[in-house]
Amino acid sequence: MIEERKKEFISFMIESDVLKFGEFTTKSGRKTPYFINTGNYRTGRQFNVLGKFYAQMVKESGCEYTAIFGPAYKGIPLAACCSNALYSQYNLDKPFFFNRKEVKDHGEGGSLVGYAPKDGDKIVIVEDVITAGTAVREVIPILRSCGEISCKDMFISVDRREIGQNFNKTAVDEVRDEFGINIHSIVDVNDIRKYLDGKAEFENYLEKMDEYMKKYCLV
């Protein structure tokens, strides 16, 4: 059985055209029967709902943090709506910041926008998914260049449970072991597969999901 909150989140992703089924290619080059594109969240209501899911996950994790970091580009609105929901739902007023893909050489300059991290800060990362861990490896040096900060927790929508560079570990496991970051997800691929079971409209994708998970996932 799948937890009600997870069921609600998967339904919300499908309704928002964020979780899609078909034939797609991931950043790692794998052909996948499902895809998560958080760039399709586009309304105030959607971000209100999404922020509550993320904020609840952050709150329930019990982690300590100074600020929230959203990697460019898709992590930017995720960090913003999470910060907003933490305040509206739990009265936790936490700043957020994000990076630019290209360093700005005029105005205030620099590669970061929003909160300015300082020595001693505890930063949490808010992202969409982890498939191969490539994005994490890109942003950790950015955060470490800010000073003596720590980053122990990362929050994502979906853990695809995909094999990483080491075939005995998922990409999430590799990130945890390499950087000492705990990865928290609202749902994972097992939850999505359970959600599809018994629903006639998704019947055509069940076999493809099973084949993909057997080939690329550690479940």
Instruction: Report pLDDT digits (tens) over 144-196.
Output: 888 899 999 999 999 999 988 877 899 899 989 999 999 999 999 999 999 99
Average pLDDT of the segment spanning 26-53: 93
Residue 135 has pLDDT above 80, yes or no: no
- Residue 203 structural domain: 4-216
Q: Which amino acid appears at position 45 of this protein?
A: R
User: How far, in Å, are 73, 143, 213 from residue 38 at the CA level?
Assistant: 10, 23, 21
Pairwise CA distance, residues 178 & 123, whole Å:
17
User: How far, in Å, are 50, 73, 112, 155, 189 from residue 172 at the CA level?
Assistant: 22, 20, 25, 11, 13
14 contacts 7 by C-beta, under 8 angstroms: no
Domains identified in the chain, total number = 1
SS3 label, residue 146: coil
CATH of the domain at 72: 3.40.50.2020
Pairwise CA distance, residues 219 & 185, whole Å:
15
Residues 70-95 have pLDDT tens digits of 998 899 999 999 999 999 999 999 99
Residues 192-212 have pLDDT tens digits of 999 999 899 999 999 999 999
The band of 104, judged by pLDDT with boundaries at 50, 70 and 90, is low
Is 184 considered catalytic here? no
Q: Which amino acid appears at position 39 of this protein?
A: G
Average pLDDT taken over every residue of the chain: 91
The band of 103, judged by pLDDT with boundaries at 50, 70 and 90, is low
Say which of 27, 31, 104, 215 is annotated catalytic.
104
